[in-house]
Amino acid sequence: MQTKGASEIYANTFDAVVKTFQTNGILGFYRGVSAVIIGSTASSAVYFGTCEFGKSFLSKLEYPALLIPPTAGAMGNIVSSAIMVPKELITQRMQAGAKGRSWEVLLRILEKDGILGLYAGYSATLLRNLPAGVLSYSSFEYLKAAVLRKTKQTNLEPIQSVCCGALAGAISASLTTPLDVVKTRLMTQVHGNKVAAAMYGGVNATVKQILKEEGWIGLTSGLGPRVVHSACFSALGYFAFETARLAILHQYLKHKEKELSKISVAPA
């Protein structure tokens, strides 16, 4: 829905769903899924790892506590974008009509544009990911702190992680959709594409062209699906992360207790 000319093909979100199903069946909703699985595994590991490292590092400095979550979120997004951009590029090319499997699309990009071709729209992605990451991660951390303060618990319950994650994702997506539209236009511009045949010169030129041809409403394309997707994605992501973090922490503490008990028994 965010690609150029999509408004001429789809009347609304429901129409896009129906036409995608009629044309490609249920598999049409999973175009580029292999690129998503591989890319998301790596980028999520780097993202959460960097965010947690940033939080730990900044908390040891004389850094304002209120600014730790957004700064850690920004750090995570800057580092993970190096992996995320090629993944999104391949996925969006496939969803916009590129033929073949993920690896075939990857090879075509490399043949035509080289390694730098995998980073088409990198500045726009970073422009979107930084605010989106800062809003999502900091919203989750602030919501988490508020819930823990109110319930007087040390950790979130699973349902609390899901709710906080969903709300954080919805807030982030609703505020950063215009940036996502610009990023999508830059990533799907290829010669001969049936949807996005026009070429853009960069972020500034893309924004000007969207405003000229579609008005301000063009920058909100796909808002509904994106908010729903981001809410679900963040709910599952933060729930999985919090569950894994607590499970690993629990195992680590159990291991330490065993080591301490062995040390205390040794002299005796």
112, two tokens: 């035509």
Nearest to 165 by CA among 146, 133, 137, 145: 137
Confidence of residue 248 (pLDDT cuts 50, 70, 90): very high
Model confidence over 101-154: pLDDT tens digits? 766 777 777 777 777 677 766 776 777 778 888 899 999 999 999 999 999 998
Provide the residue count of the chain: 268
How many beta carbons lie within 10 A of that of residue 263, not counting itself? 9
Residues 50 and 46: their CA atoms lie apart, in Å, by 6
Are the CB atoms for 173 and 132 separated by under 8 Å? yes
Confidence of residue 98 (pLDDT cuts 50, 70, 90): low
Are the CB atoms for 175 and 184 separated by under 8 Å? no
Model confidence over 148-198: pLDDT tens digits? 999 999 889 999 999 999 999 999 998 888 888 887 777 676 544 444 434
Residues 78 and 97: their CA atoms lie apart, in Å, by 29
Give the burial string for 191-228 (b: 16+ CB within 10 Å, else e): eebebbeeebeebeebbebbeeeeeeebbebbbbebbe
Reduce the DSSP state of residue 30 to 3 states and report it.
helix
Residue 49 per-residue DSSP state:
H
Instruction: Give the residue ranges of DSSP H helices in the chain.
Output: 6-9, 13-24, 33-59, 68-95, 102-113, 122-151, 158-187, 203-214, 223-265
pLDDT at 99 over 90: no
Model confidence over 14-36: pLDDT tens digits? 888 888 888 888 887 887 677 77
Q: What pLDDT is stored for residue 1 in this prediction?
A: 74
Nearest to 243 by CA among 165, 129, 146: 165
Burial degree of 158 (CB within 10 A; 0-12, 13-18, 19+): exposed
pLDDT at 199 over 70: no
